[in-house]
Amino acid sequence: MIEALSYEFIQNALIAGILVSIVSGIIGSLIVVNRMVFLAGGIAHTSYGGIGLAIFLGFPFFLGASLFAVTSALIIASITLNHRDRVDTFIGLMWAVGMALGVVFIDLTPGYKGDLMSYLFGSILSVSHSDLYYMILLLISTILIVTLKYREILAVSYDIEYAKLRGINVRFYYTLILVLSALSVVVAIKIVGLILVIALLTIPIYIAEKLSNTLYMMMILSGIFSSIFTVLGLIISYIYNISSGASIILISAICLSLFLIYQKLKFDYKIR
Amino acid sequence: MILGLIPTQKGIIKTFGEIPKKNLSKIGYVPQDTNINTNFPIKIIEVVLMGHIGTKRPIFGYAKEEIMCAMGALAQVGMEEFSQKKIGELSGGQRQRVMIARALCANPKILILDEPTASIDIDGQKKIYELLKALNRDITIIVVSHDISIVLEYANKIVHINKRLTYHQLNQKEREKLNMAGHFCEVELFNILKGNSR
| pLDDT, tens only, B35-65 | 667 778 888 888 888 877 555 566 666 777 7
Residue A48 and residue A99 in contact, taking contact as beta carbons nearer than 8 Å: yes
Res. B182: pLDDT tops 50: no
Instruction: Give B197's pLDDT tier (boundaries 50, 70, 90).
Output: very low
Question: By CB neighbour count within 10 A (0-12 exposed, 13-18 middle, 19+ buried), where does A3 fall?
Answer: exposed
CATH of domain A2-271: 1.10.3470.10
A-B Cβ pairs (cutoff 8 Å, strict): 68
- A residues 206-235 closer than 8 Å to B (CB): 209, 212-215, 217-218
CB-CB contact of A95 with A46 (8 Å): yes
The domain locations on chain B are: 1-145, 147-198
pLDDT at A217: 92
Query: Smallest Cβ distance to A209: which of B31, B41, B57?
Result: B41
Instruction: Name the pLDDT band for A257 (thresholds 50, 70, 90).
Output: very high
Q: What is the pLDDT of residue B198?
A: 41
CB contact under 8 A, A33 and B41: yes
At B160 the pLDDT is 64
Closest residue to B41, CB basis, from A152, A167, A215: A215
> Which segment of B93-102, B142-151, B161-170 scores lowest on mean pLDDT?
B161-170
pLDDT (0 to 100) of residue B183: 46
Residue of A nearest to B36 (CA): A159
The domain spans of chain A are: 2-271
Name the pLDDT band for A7 (thresholds 50, 70, 90). confident
Distances (CA, A) of B137 to A165, B48, B129, B134: 25, 22, 13, 6
Give B119 to chain A, closest Cα distance, Å. 18
A161 vs B40: CB contact, 8 Å cut-off?
Answer: no
Best mutation target among A149, A161, A162, A217 (most B Cβ atoms within 10 Å) is A162
Q: Are B24 and A152 in contact (CB < 8 Å)? A: no
CA dihedral A81, A84, A89, A90 (to 10 degrees): -10
Q: How crowded is residue A61: how many other Cβ atoms within 10 Å of its Cβ?
A: 23
What tens digit of pLDDT does each residue of A103-160 get? 898 888 887 766 677 788 888 888 888 889 999 999 999 999 999 888 889 988 988 8
pTM exceeds cut of 0.90: no
* Position B12 confidence tier, pLDDT thresholds 50, 70, 90: low
Q: Do B53 and A217 touch (CB under 8 A)?
A: no
Summary mean pLDDT of chain B: 69
Confidence band (pLDDT; 50, 70, 90) for A232?
Answer: very high
pLDDT average, residue stretch B130-136: 75
ipTM of model:
0.74
**A100/B196: higher pLDDT:** A100
Q: Quick one: pLDDT at residue A194?
A: 83
The pLDDT value given to residue B50: 81
Q: What is the mean pLDDT of residues A21-37?
A: 92
What's the confidence (pLDDT) of residue B77?
77
Residues A26-53 have a mean pLDDT of: 91
Give, as one character, the DSSP assignment of residue B93: H
Cross-chain residue pair B36–A154, CB shorter than 8 Å: no
B1-145 CATH fold? Rossmann fold (3.40.50)
Q: Is B109 exposed, middle or buried (0-12, 13-18, 19+ CB in 10 A)?
A: middle
